[in-house]
Structure 1
């Protein structure tokens, strides 16, 4: 564990031109560094909330939380979180990611995890479950940028998120015939871009947490237990805040409310039972 905390940060690739030196053609956006993207007062406040909800020193926080958050920022840049729903503005994906992590960690403080083990075992696993909660929240929607967006550089060459962070001016548009059920399926393309192998090695040493995290990232919330519930509630709180609702209601929602069971049943029907968005005969059409 100490070796994880003591890892040195990898310096930027030598020879990469500074972002400020890149000319931005008309109609394109200039890629920004993580430091620049995260420098706004709102995002700095969210980072502070996230740190306060861990029990780590600043140095440990930089390794376990800030480094993945910086990689996330560089990858999502100024992308919205949706085309015309919540956080549908430039940078909305980054704001939503930070908000959902902060909310998930706030919720996590009310739980002793994993359930059904001794207090000593829970104490020994506490930091791993806290970090796992943050990663599940941050990554649960990352697949959107792989399947919903068409991104290209100013010269017309196509960018995919598995290429790594954008380094040249870019523009993007939403794909017209996108498949919303691919969001979770596409997550597996990208989470290794945000979490390094030392973090994976650490988390994989806790089988219950590891299984729950993999289920969340695969979109199989019915198997993810408390971890999945934390992510769902945190997501709802972030969306409610953005749309002018009361996020505290989402945070206070009981785990097994009737509404939650109805929503789970509806999600199952939409994912497994109905034939939606088919070219020919279909049971219905699912929109955002």
Structure 2
């Protein structure tokens, strides 16, 4: 009888779920990173007890919190354990770089030595928490008991995974609707979970330092100044190292016994596409966007996405990236990543109608299946799609090729004019037009009344609030949206089409830049009058004036929007123009006493009457720079009084 009972139990035994990951202790998680932690200790230059009480206190809590989660879905450190490794690397690089800086900038040597350990620890905190918000906003984690029975979704707001009663295993899934901006705003809210309260009190006593740290932890890099700059550098270095060592396997796949092979260019391009869509704030499905989605396909504005891919690869120090966009498109075609048009080429000429556009807009686009970006394990029903029509040139009369038929709204067929050619650069910078998300044009949701392929089943159930709506529930709330009104093109509407409300937006970036400039200079968060400085003090008519090296100072403020920022700042007329040509750019000549060393010319913006702009105590003029002066006209001076 016992024999038959054993046979019965054998056939009815529930198979173990091999996809579950065991919750580990901090000792087990950190054991393989001992060398890296020791390097961090050496770079901090603090006593061992100090390091254990403050630094290891936080590193232990980080390890227990992130466990073996990856740092990203398909970009750098995307294997299990990547989050912990990436964070420790960022800490090590950041603390090492901090040792090359004399902080706080502009303070006496005595004060810099006095505050050395405090600044080092603040930079450690910023590095430790720089990505911690991803555990809240980017992944859904389900926890299980020792019998692999599901206990529910882990909520980081209640503590780490091991604090959940009887939790022994976990399983994670990336949230397909995650918002890039969220994770960078969350570190400050989790500060007390990781940092010794005594250390927080220690940092708060140094008001200027604590302000810079708080700004950095809220994702406000411009106001975070030197701390944010160091973290950004360390993050980039760690990411580049990971990508350079990438084996070419898909994210989440275990490594085989074979030696890792370098990724092909096509793999790098696809991974970067996914990274830009899933982990950055790329604009989608609105005027000025780089990407438009239907239920089955993704359409990228060709020049915009190619430039973004190249910039991302260059920032991560990837080699072998072609300068020519057509070369990259050929690579994507050759490896069947993008869908060829009817002529077998990469570019699709598409006209976008409605969806926030006041007039039909024609763009050159790349097309690829949606699962290439969002993976098969994600629920496509949850993805927003473009609410207007995407009409492919040459196929306007084929009903099955109208992308609107598979989009969010069941609108009547709209008559439209022939495609209107508009340059990629112009169309993709229509950032001022916010109609797509205004109350009159709510953000589109998929219309499930149209028959569609069922989503791929996943093993991990989504937590409450993330379940996809059923066809029945969604169809009851679906309202027909009237067809977009196609208006004839007029000269009066061109500016409105491209920039929305220019009278509001044309100087917004310039004003933000100038506010940032005053704040960083007054807080001594930016170096002045050094070899690497973007800001110098020069003498103009016997008074101090600011000389802003262009375009370096604008790139320091915004690497992506520096050109627009520079242009809009010029419109504010805060700077003094030259007299003869009335240009924004002035020149200064460097002075040198070295034999055989010639003077050089530096170009930049000049700001006078500093007392009118709330600049506080400034250093003496740079004795190695001489302003090349041409007396300005009286009328120009009036703008600066």
| Fold similarity call, TM over 0.5 | yes
Q: How does 1:253-264 map to 2 (within 5 A)?
A: 261=555, 264=558
Equivalent residue of 1:90, what SS?
A: coil
Give the drift of 1:162: 2.0
User: Is 1:236 the counterpart of 2:236 in the alignment?
Assistant: yes
Who is 1:160 aligned against? 155
Could you tell me how far apart the structure 1 residues matched to 2:241 and 2:554 are?
19
Q: Give the structure, 1 or 2, with the largest relative contact order (CA under 8 Å, sep 6 or more).
A: 1
Who is 1:276 aligned against? none
Q: How does 1:20-169 map to 2 (within 5 A)?
A: 26-40=18-32, 43-154=33-144, 155-167=150-162, 168=167, 169=169
Equivalent residue of 1:131, what SS?
A: helix
Could you tell me how far apart the structure 1 residues matched to 2:554 and 2:75 are?
21
| Structure 1 unaligned regions, length at least 5 | 1-23, 270-288
Could you tell me how far apart the structure 2 residues matched to 1:217 and 1:189 are?
9
Contact 2:554-2:562 at 8 Å conserved across structures:
no
Could you tell me how far apart the structure 2 residues matched to 1:248 and 1:53 are?
24
Could you tell me how far apart the structure 2 residues matched to 1:127 and 1:111 are?
13
Could you tell me how far apart the structure 1 residues matched to 2:181 and 2:131 are?
11
Who is 1:19 aligned against? none
Contact 2:212-2:223 at 8 Å conserved across structures:
yes
Contact 2:243-2:316 at 8 Å conserved across structures:
no
Contact 2:90-2:231 at 8 Å conserved across structures:
yes
Could you tell me how far apart the structure 2 residues matched to 1:244 and 1:259 are?
30
Q: State the Cα RMSD in Å.
A: 2.7
CA spacing shift, 1:259–1:123, aligned 2, 3 Å: closer
Could you tell me how far apart the structure 2 residues matched to 1:136 and 1:224 are?
10
CA spacing shift, 1:268–1:164, aligned 2, 3 Å: farther
Could you tell me how far apart the structure 2 residues matched to 1:178 and 1:62 are?
36
CA spacing shift, 1:187–1:258, aligned 2, 3 Å: same
Contact 1:128-1:203 at 8 Å conserved across structures:
yes
Contact 1:162-1:189 at 8 Å conserved across structures:
no
User: Is 1:211 the counterpart of 2:211 in the alignment?
Assistant: yes
Could you tell me how far apart the structure 1 residues matched to 2:174 and 2:216 are?
25
CA spacing shift, 1:174–1:255, aligned 2, 3 Å: farther
Could you tell me how far apart the structure 1 residues matched to 2:186 and 2:123 are?
20
CA spacing shift, 1:249–1:176, aligned 2, 3 Å: closer
Give the drift of 1:263: 8.6
- Larger mean CA deviation between 68-77 and 237-246 belongs to 237-246
Could you tell me how far apart the structure 2 residues matched to 1:229 and 1:171 are?
34
Give the drift of 1:124: 0.9
Who is 2:626 aligned against? none
Task: Judging by fraction of residues, say which structure has more helix.
Answer: 1
Contact 1:161-1:190 at 8 Å conserved across structures:
no
Contact 1:153-1:159 at 8 Å conserved across structures:
yes
CA spacing shift, 1:212–1:268, aligned 2, 3 Å: farther
| Structure 2 unaligned regions, length at least 5 | 1-15, 145-149, 246-313, 319-531, 535-550, 564-641
Equivalent residue of 2:211, what SS?
A: helix
Could you tell me how far apart the structure 2 residues matched to 1:172 and 1:183 are?
17
Give the drift of 1:58: 1.5
Could you tell me how far apart the structure 1 residues matched to 2:67 and 2:183 are?
18
Could you tell me how far apart the structure 2 residues matched to 1:99 and 1:143 are?
18
Equivalent residue of 1:151, what SS?
A: strand
Equivalent residue of 2:115, what SS?
A: helix
| Count of matched residue positions in the alignment of Structure 1 and Structure 2 | 241
Who is 2:195 aligned against? 195
CA spacing shift, 1:159–1:228, aligned 2, 3 Å: same
CA spacing shift, 1:259–1:172, aligned 2, 3 Å: farther
Q: Deviations over 1:40-67 (max 9, x none)?
A: 1xx1111011000012122111011111
Give the drift of 1:125: 0.5
Q: Which protein has the larger Cα radius of gyration, Structure 1 or Structure 2?
A: 2
Could you tell me how far apart the structure 2 residues matched to 1:255 and 1:105 are?
22
Could you tell me how far apart the structure 2 residues matched to 1:145 and 1:255 are?
37
Equivalent residue of 1:48, what SS?
A: helix
Contact 1:38-1:44 at 8 Å conserved across structures:
yes
Q: 2:560 aligns with which of 266, 269, 277?
A: 266
Give the drift of 1:26: 3.7
Give the drift of 1:247: 10
Equivalent residue of 1:38, what SS?
A: helix
Could you tell me how far apart the structure 2 residues matched to 1:263 and 1:82 are?
26
Who is 2:186 aligned against? 186
After TM superposition, the score normalised by the length of structure 2 is 0.36
Contact 1:238-1:247 at 8 Å conserved across structures:
no
Equivalent residue of 2:161, what SS?
A: coil
Could you tell me how far apart the structure 1 residues matched to 2:554 and 2:172 are?
35
